[in-house]
Structure formats: C-alpha cells, structure tokens
C-alpha cells in the first residue's frame, strides 16, 4: 500500500514534463510571476470569481450537495488525497495497511497537523479521536447526515447504531488506537474502501469544538475548524466569500494561490464575461450564445477553452410520487407515469443532440451518454463496466428512435384511455435558473418532443424554479413530473451510481419502500429481473423493489468483482430499459470558459471531492487557448496512463 521511491520518481518526472509544456517560457498560459514561493516580497496571488449557487451550510458532516463540497474540500483535509493523475497519495495519513482478511484498515496520522479557527489562531492538534468523533456524529440519526449511507455501506455496526439495534457508539467500527493511529473495522471486505476516504463523511472533526458550538456547527465561518489548504475568513451568504491560504498547512508549498475572493451575483452567468474583459474577475463562463462571437474576435479567440468533462452524469427523471399543484393534474400524471409505454414514448422520443446544443454547440454529440455510469469510470480485467452484462446493449444503442416513440405513443393512448387518463398529459418540467443552459435545453426539449409526439398527447410545461434551495424546494418535495437530475461518484465502484434509487433517497419513486417490503413475495431469479419479467404469480411488487433487489445482489458480492460489476450493470440496464430514467450527458463542468486558472496540475479523481481542490493550481498571466488546452490534455492523458500503471504494479 505504501508509495515507493520508484513511483515518486516517475510522478515527479511526468509533472516536470507537463510543467514545461504548460509554462512555455513566458508564453500564454505561464504562471503569474507573483506566485507564492518565488522569494522576495512578491504580492499575494489573488483569484477572483463570481458565483451564483449559494452554499446553505458549512457542516461537511451532513451535506451531500456539490455546492458545499467545493468549500469543505478546501477547508478540511482527508486521510488520502489524489494527485493530478488520480493516484492515491498520503494526505492526513502517512501510512496505511489492511489486514489479511480485508476487514481492518489501520492508518498512521501525519505529525504536526493542527486545527485552526477562522481567524487563523491555533485551536488543537489533529488526533485519531477526531475521526472517531466524526464517525459518531454521522452515525447519530439526530444529525440526519445525507452521506451516512456511504459510511453504513462499509463500516461495521454503523447501520445497527443508526437504527438503535445497538446503543454504544464505541461498537461502531472505528477507534483511536493512540493519538496517531486510527483503525477502521468493516462489515465485509471492501476493496474500494481507500477511495471512500477522500469523501466528506470520512473527514475529521474536533470533538471538543463540536461540543462547544453545538447546533451552530457549520452555520458560519467561525463555527467550523480548518486543517486544509484554505481558511474561510468571510462567509456572507448571497454576498461574498473570502478564503485565505493556510500558511501552516502541511502541504502549503503546493498551494500557489494566496487568496480566493468569491462574490455572489444572481446574474453572474450574464455579467461575468464582460467583467473579465474589464479585469474584475479571473474566470467567466462563456455561454453558448456568446461563444462564437468570442471565437471570431481576434482579441478573445485565444482566451476561450473548454472545461474538463466531469464524472457527474445527467439524466431525466420521472417522478412517481407527484406533489405539485392541482393545476398540473398530479392524479392524471400518476396514471401516465406508471404506464411503461408512456415513459418509453418519451424516452425513445427525445433527440438528445438537440437538447445538448446549448451546452455544446460545436459538437453536441461529444458528451452524450446512454448509461448512468459513464464510460471509463471503472473496468474489470480491461473490460469497461459499461460493456458488462445487460448494460453493454444499452451502452451501444442510441435511445432516440422516432418510429418506436410513435408506436409506444399509440400503445400508451389505448392503455391510458382505458385507465381513465385524459389527454394531453401535463408534464411539469422545472429548472434552476442559476444553472447555465438548463432552461434553454428544457425549451428545446419541449419543442422537439411535442413536435414529434404531438401537443394532443403531451403538454410539457417548462417553469423556472428558485435559484437558491432548488433541490430541497423542488426535487426533494416532488414538485416536478420530469426533471433533469445528476449524480457524481463518491468512491471507485459502480455501486456509487446506484445510490439515487436506493432506500431512503428522494429520487424518482416515493420513500415508501422498506427493507421489509423486499423480504417477502419474491421468487425472481437474476435472469428474470434482468429481462424485466413481471409475473403476478411469482412476484407482487413494483419496479423499485425489483431494482433494489438486483442492486442488493451486487452489494452482497464483495470479492468476485466480475460478478459484482455484472449485477450492478444488469440493475442499471433495468432502470434504463424500463424508462425509469433517461440518460442524457456527461457534462463538461462549466462548458466553455475564459480562465486564468491552470487546469492539469490540480488534484483529480472521478470520485470524492478531490476535483474541487485548488491545491496545486496556478494563476496564469493569460488564459490558455483551445489548442493549448487540447495539447495539455493529451500530455496529461499519457502521463496519467503511466502513473496509473506504475501504481497498479505496486
């Protein structure tokens, strides 16, 4: 498990190659000469940006929102970090080992790490007990941690304590052997456990401070402690944030930006491009309607580049438990959405390339995906996960088929008319106005889908929701019929992409299915389920119970990775084949941008919060161009392949 000198030498060599390619002797894309660490009395390096999505909490132990991950990733460090190639490195842990039976993981903590207050004063040493206190907090149902399921999927007795089956928190599988030695005990061997440790639910917390602030923990900048690369000096919701470099951070030499100034503006997406030209900000998203003008203008053509494709995947989600106003006819929608032919008419009728155009006008097919789990996330013996089991056929088939859509429409009209439904079916489709291109994409989808299926069949109603608290006010309360949703992986295993449809989540179907429901009336085989067989003589249940059963087969298989992956692949194919979900795209994080931030020297991982870290990034004199971006990406991909191969051989 330890990194060897040979691997370190290889990584240093590849970093040097990328650095020379990116910096190019004072050309565009070179780091600012005032960067920290250059000696003398250099001015602090300040990065300025606008933001439109506001964080609602700094309590990293309860949140599951990406808006808040960006903050916690920079304020709180993790046991394991990932370098710019996605290779696991030492973070707060300098060493780790796993027992022969795969159940006990032991970590040695880094010396000299301390907790700091928001004013920069030292509070306490980091200790192994801080990870124990964190785990006990998350496993307490009173705190309603939205990432508890990640913990309970691996850590021994976490679920039993949460449910009240045991009452002593010391029986949870985490303990401080001494101040510098931390031990986790797992329910079963979990080969991907190391990758889970870069996620928020495995971050530490100081128990004394937690007791001191009580319920105020995470409500302001001064009600959390910091041990990461940055300290939040100011946190004024819907006004501004100021992060300052933690000069006592153990890896401070790799933190090249001294100050990050973030200003809230509800019109940030419209204002930022002009503000960049005025020199007021250092990054701006370039919306599709401005992109061609920027590329045609000689003064801006070489400033625009794409952003990296994320491992967040986006899909349209049907709501089986509508809670919207009577004006949108929720009872009629219930009849429609529970009819598979109706769902398939929409799934086969969406021309995704047209819906993608606002996000990627140059190459709208580039980021489209046919699955929930993206290609390249994980593989078994060289076979990509998306090419395993029933998912292979799904992955290799374009779901848009106008002829089939119309056939399903005819079937749905016949079946729904008999069931008492009225037409057109109203389809409430809300969007967050603070998210780039979402509204435009919805409007295109409305026109395209109604044009194919007819306004006598469906009436898609596109409405702007609130830009703040959109998830809690719209999706989690069921105030939609069909909506674009997304999910990103938390650890390196396909199970992580099944979470939105697991018990207790507020996606798709109502929170009525319990574990008890799954233990009765079930005689299906995995083959039956993968084919979508529903026979009332064999099974009394609903699609969600079938899906959850299929997922459970994957969860139960810990060591046979091929069997595990195939089970998850079959379950994912089931969701898509029965139009519970309609895959859309793997979106580039911000589309096109003009940005002085360097790209390929920051931490990278398809899972966890590594990608949100500013550690390692440089502030450039001028942005890199499109050509420079693709050249650097090609070099990065070559270097990453070598780094991963070297890591796998150890």
**410-439 tens-digit pLDDT:** 999 999 999 999 999 999 999 999 887 899
Burial (0-12, 13-18, 19+ Cβ within 10 Å), 41: exposed
The answer on pLDDT for 30 being more than 70 is no
**In the prediction, which pLDDT does 565 show?**
95
- pTM, two decimal places: 0.74
Query: Is pLDDT at 571 greater than 70 in this prediction?
Result: yes
Alpha-carbon span 425 to 413, nearest angstrom: 10
Query: What pLDDT does 53 receive?
Result: 86
Cα separation values, 45 from 6, 25, 72, 415, 530, Å: 34, 20, 21, 65, 55
Least confident window among 287-301, 423-437, 517-531: 517-531
Q: What is the pLDDT of residue 90?
A: 96
3-state secondary structure 433-463: CCCCCHHHHHHHHHHHHHHHHCCCCEEEEEE
pLDDT for 42 beyond 90: no
Helix (H) or strand (E) holding 348: helix 340-349
What 3-state DSSP class applies to 44?
coil
Phi–psi pair at 460, nearest 5 degrees: -80, 125
* pLDDT recorded at residue 544: 67
pLDDT of the residue at 24: 34
Q: Which two tokens stand for residue 298?
A: 């000689």
Lookup: tokens for 196: 């889970």
Least confident of 27-41, 312-326, 486-500: 27-41
Indicate whether 529 pLDDT > 50.
Answer: no
Asked if the model's pLDDT at residue 525 lies above 50, the reply is no
Q: What is the pLDDT of residues 131-149, one digit of tens each?
A: 999 999 999 999 999 999 8
Compute the distance between CA of residue 193 and CA of residue 182 in angstroms, rounded to an integer: 15
Q: What average pLDDT score do residues 11-18 get? A: 35
Rounded Cα distance, 287 and 271, in Å: 11
């Amino acid at each position: 498990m330890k990194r060897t000198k040979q691997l370190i030498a290889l990584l240093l060599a590849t970093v040097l190659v990328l650095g020379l390619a990116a910096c190019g002797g004072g050309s565009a894309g070179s780091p600012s000469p005032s960067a920290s660490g250059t000696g003398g009395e250099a001015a602090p390096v300040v990065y300025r940006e606008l933001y439109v999505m506001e964080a609602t909490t700094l309590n990293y132990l309860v949140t599951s929102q990406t808006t808040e991950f960006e903050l916690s990733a920079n304020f709180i460090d993790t046991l394991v970090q990932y370098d710019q190639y996605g290779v696991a490195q030492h973070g707060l842990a300098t060493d780790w080992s796993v027992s022969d039976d795969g159940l006990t993981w032991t970590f040695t903590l880094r010396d000299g790490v301390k907790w700091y207050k928001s004013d920069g004063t030292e509070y306490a040493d980091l200790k192994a007990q801080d990870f124990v206190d964190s785990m006990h907090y998350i496993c307490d149902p009173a705190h309603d941690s939205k990432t508890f399921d990640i913990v309970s999927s691996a850590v021994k007795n976490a679920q039993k304590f949460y449910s009240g089956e045991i009452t002593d928190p010391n029986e949870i599988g985490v303990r401080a052997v001494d101040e510098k030695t931390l031990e986790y005990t797992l329910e079963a061997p979990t080969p991907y456990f190391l990758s889970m440790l870069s996620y928020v639910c495995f971050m530490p917390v100081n128990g004394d401070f937690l007791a001191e602030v009580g319920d105020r923990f995470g409500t302001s900048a001064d009600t959390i402690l910091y041990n990461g690369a940055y300290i939040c000096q100011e946190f004024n919701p819907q006004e501004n944030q100021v992060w300052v470099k933690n000069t006592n951070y153990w890896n401070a030499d790799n933190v090249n930006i001294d100050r990050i100034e973030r200003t809230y503006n509800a019109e940030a997406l419209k204002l930022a491009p002009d503000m960049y030209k005025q020199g007021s900000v250092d990054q701006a998203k370039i919306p599709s309607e401005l992109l061609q003008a920027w590329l045609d203008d000689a003064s801006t053509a070489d400033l625009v580049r794409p952003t990296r494709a994320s491992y967040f995947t986006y899909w349209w989600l049907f709501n089986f438990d509508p809670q919207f106003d009577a004006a949108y006819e929720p009872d009629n929608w219930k009849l429609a959405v529970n009819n598979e032919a109706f769902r398939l008419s929409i799934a086969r009728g969406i021309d995704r390339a047209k819906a993608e155009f606002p996000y990627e006008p140059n190459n709208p097919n580039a980021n489209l995906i046919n699955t929930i789990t993206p290609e390249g996330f994980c593989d078994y013996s060289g076979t990509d996960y998306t090419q395993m089991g029933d998912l292979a056929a799904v992955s290799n088939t374009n779901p848009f088929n106008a002829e089939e859509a119309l056939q399903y429409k005819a079937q749905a009209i016949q079946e729904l008319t008999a069931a008492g439904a009225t037409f057109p079916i109203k389809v409430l489709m809300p969007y967050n106005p603070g998210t780039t291109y979402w509204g435009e994409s919805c409007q295109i989808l409305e026109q395209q889908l109604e044009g194919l299926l007819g306004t006598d069949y469906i009436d898609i109603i596109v409405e702007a929701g609130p830009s703040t608290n959109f998830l809690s006010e719209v999706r989690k309360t069921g105030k939609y019929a069909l909506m674009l949703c997304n999910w990103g992986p938390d650890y390196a295993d396909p199970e992580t992409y099944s979470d939105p449809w697991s018990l207790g989540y507020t996606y798709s179907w109502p929170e009525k299915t319990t574990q008890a429901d799954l233990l009765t009336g079930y005689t299906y085989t995995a083959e039956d389920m993968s084919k979508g067989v529903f026979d009332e003589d064999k099974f009394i249940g609903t699609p969600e119970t079938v899906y959850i059963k299929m997922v459970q087969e994957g969860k139960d298989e810990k060591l046979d990775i091929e069997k595990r992956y195939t089970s998850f692949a079959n379950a994912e194919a089931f969701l898509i084949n029965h139009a519970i979900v309609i895959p859309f795209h793997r979106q580039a994080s911000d589309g096109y941008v003009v940005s002085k931030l360097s790209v390929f020297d920051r931490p990278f991982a398809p899972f966890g919060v590594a990608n949100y870290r500013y550690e390692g990034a440089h502030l450039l004199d001028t942005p890199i161009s499109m050509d420079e971006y693709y050249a650097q990406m090609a070099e990065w991909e070559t270097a990453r392949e070598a780094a991963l191969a070297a890591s796998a051989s150890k």
